[in-house]
Amino acid sequence: MAREGVFSALPAEGLPPMAALAHKAAGLLARRSAKKAARKDRLSAALNRLGPSYVKLGQFLATRPDIVGTQIAVELSHLQDKVPPYPREVAIETIEVTLGRRIDDLFIEFGEVVGAASIAQVHKARVRTRDGEERFVAVKVIRPGVRQRFLRELEAFAFIAKVLETVVRSTRRLRPVAVVQTLAQSTRIEMDLRLEAAASSEMADNIKDDPGFRVPGIDWERTGRDVLTMEWVDGIKMNNVEAVRAAGHDLPQLGVNLIQSFLRHSMRDGFFHADMHPGNLFVAPDGTIVAVDLGIVGRLAADSRRFLAEILYGFIRRDYRRVAEVHFEAGYVPRNQDVLSFAQALRAIGEPIHGQPAETISMAHLLTLLFEVTELFDMHTRPELVLLQKTMVVVEGVARSYDPRFNMWEAAEPVVSDYILSEIGPAAKLRDAREGLEALGRIAKRLPDFATGLEVFAKNMPDLIENGIHINDDDLMELAKESRTGLIISHIAQIASAIALVVIAWQLTFG
């Protein structure tokens, strides 16, 4: 990290003396060529040199701007795996073992690698459908041994997170152990390609009637744990803005379409593509946006979607009191905080975005301020909202690259307003009333069971009042024995942790 100039690229203002000295030392270690590169390029180079596990960690931290800051999160979101492909013959062997069929029975033609990443690589192939037609497909194949390698790295990350949470009090609000656990779960899901296929299929069902956005169809016959076969996408990657412009597409409209599609998926369906960087987005010849690589997806419960819509709608309408109340109703901010003070802080965030030229309004800047305010009011991390916010920042960045004057709020308002009308309007109130009556009906069916329980409780109540609850001597001895065992285990765990820290320090120093 020091050699690639990552540390020296960080701001040094306000650092304490020892930290400032370390910053200068890191600058001396940086390579000359690294000093000329942009910070995001330095970070990308360093993580790629460290290895694929660190690349994946960097991509995951891009989903946690509450930990690394919004600016670094956006930079990390551009991190792409640059991993050499493994031989085509190994991929064929993996496919045959996974699907239990010979490669010639599955594909008319199985081509060379068209893209390689830390977890899998993609080949272009040709198949014959059951109707006898031929078509091209993309075949994603897991790297051999990748699960074992990531398991070792995740164990190291988990240990570091545990030490951080134990020693550095200020990190507890950010829950580093929970972050690593989420990373581990996300990686396990990403390494089972059947789950990615299921996510793509679910989104396809959700958006089948939506204009201007789709995901590739899945070939389930040729999909398994280590292999995913999907429709081949003929289009231009959205990171190639000039090629999209040369193809004659309406760039500002593409930006609006992307934002509105993302918000529609998040609010209406509660299920969204959480890795929508431009390398995962294509523009088809008819102008439709096609999203691939649904290894990372986000979900929002119905309550979270409703609260989110009210928060966005409140910012759009400048109703900061209502935005503050929603935070408290959702339990995002502790009850011991003051609603009016929180509304005042939200006004300080929201007012600057109104009345400004479109090109000066930045969702990234807004979210940075929001994280600072929520920390002041002891708001704890909400992983599902952070993932949503991060994706929103990335999507806004893509839209702004297509239209420098892009206005996030103007693009969002129609979708948010429609959702508010459908979820909080008269029709929603009638639906909530119906669901309430159904819940009362279910409770009524259980009333005989409740009555029986209450009857038994009432029968035994006099004895409990008169004699209390008794614990015999054998029970007390067992409790004491369990307490002593717990203390011994706790001491052993502390000693083992200390030994582990010494071993790691020795390896870092002399290894």
Active site residues: 275
Cβ 275 vs Cβ 186: under 8 Å: no
Burial 268-277, CB ≥16 within 10 A → b, else e = bbbbbbbbbb
Which spans in 108-240 are helix H? 146-167, 176-190, 193-206
Which amino acid does the sequence have at 174?
A: L
CA distance 215 to 207: 9
Burial 449-466, CB ≥16 within 10 A → b, else e = eeeeeeeeeeeeeeeeee
CA distance 170 to 173: 7
Q: Which DSSP helix (H) or strand (E) runs through 394?
A: helix 383-402
Q: What is the CA radius of gyration of the chain?
A: 27
CA distance 226 to 295: 13
Which spans in 51-192 are helix H? 52-61, 65-68, 70-77, 88-99, 103-106, 146-167, 176-190
Cβ 424 vs Cβ 302: under 8 Å: no
